[in-house]
């Protein structure tokens, strides 16, 4: 099956809601931000917010990008949203394309109960970004299995996943890096390493630019 088939429709998974940490200005900039798990407001309120983005979304070919940020990487998760907002506004939207941001918001201290929904969200994505410093995260919020699922989806021609990227932050305490994180870094040749948030933003922008070139431009009848 062609992996470029249309996967733009928002799924009906009830645990997908607009990430309310994204302010109105960013929403107006059309960086439609959807979190795997809602942590603010009721389910009904979250659904109303999502419904409010539908008219905007339908004008574009939508492609989801999941960003996993275990450990002390909230600054990187927030930067992911801001870079996506600017990129959509200046690069993707003029081509009729909208990259949709997905992540697990910090208020979710334990995602295990929601893991089936998280996994289903990953399966709907075209791209997956794994950010790592020294850990995959504690058992309550561990992303090692999510990364493995994304890699498996990318290898499956019947899944929309096109690419999995890993960005490695320079660890503050190198002697405490988990062995599996070190091994993954070695296996990938240390690609996309960064030390500052600006370097991280630059990596994201370059990655999104590369991915944008691979997205088919929607044609109108």
Q: Strand, coil or helix: what is 94? A: helix
What pLDDT, on a 0 to 100 scale, did the predictor assign at position 28?
37
What pLDDT, on a 0 to 100 scale, did the predictor assign at position 12?
29
The pLDDT mean for the chain works out to 80
Radius of gyration of the chain (CA): 17
Q: Is the pLDDT of residue 173 over 90?
A: yes
| pTM score | 0.77
Full set of structural domains in the chain with CATH: 17-212 (3.40.50)
Residue 38: pLDDT band with limits 50, 70, 90? very low
Residue 19: pLDDT band with limits 50, 70, 90? very low
- For the segment 96-151, what is each residue's pLDDT rounded down to a tens digit? 999 999 999 988 999 999 999 999 999 999 999 999 999 999 999 999 999 999 99
What pLDDT, on a 0 to 100 scale, did the predictor assign at position 185?
94
């Amino acid at each position: 099956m062609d992996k470029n088939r249309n996967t733009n429709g928002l799924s009906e998974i009830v645990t997908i809601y607009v990430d309310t940490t994204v302010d109105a200005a960013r929403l107006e900039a059309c960086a439609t931000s959807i979190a795997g798990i809602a942590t603010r407001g009721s389910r009904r309120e979250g659904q109303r917010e999502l419904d409010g983005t539908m008219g905007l979304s339908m004008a574009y070919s939508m492609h989801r990008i999941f960003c996993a940020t275990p450990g002390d990487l909230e600054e990187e998760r927030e930067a992911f949203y801001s870079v996506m907002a600017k990129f959509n506004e200046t690069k993707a939207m003029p081509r009729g394309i909208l990259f949709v941001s997905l992540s697990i918001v910090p208020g979710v201290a334990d995602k295990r109960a929601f893991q089936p929904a998280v996994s289903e969200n990953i399966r709907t994505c075209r791209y997956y970004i794994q950010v790592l410093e020294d850990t995959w995260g504690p058992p309550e919020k561990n992303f090692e299995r999510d990364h493995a699922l994304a890699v498996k989806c990318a290898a499956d021609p019947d899944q929309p996943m096109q690419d999995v990227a890993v960005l490695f932050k320079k660890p503050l305490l190198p002697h405490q890096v988990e062995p599996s994180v070190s091994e993954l870094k070695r296996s990938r040749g240390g690609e996309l390493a960064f030390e500052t948030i600006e370097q991280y933003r630059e990596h994201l922008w370059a990655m999104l630019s590369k991915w944008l070139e691979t997205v088919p431009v929607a044609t109108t009848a």
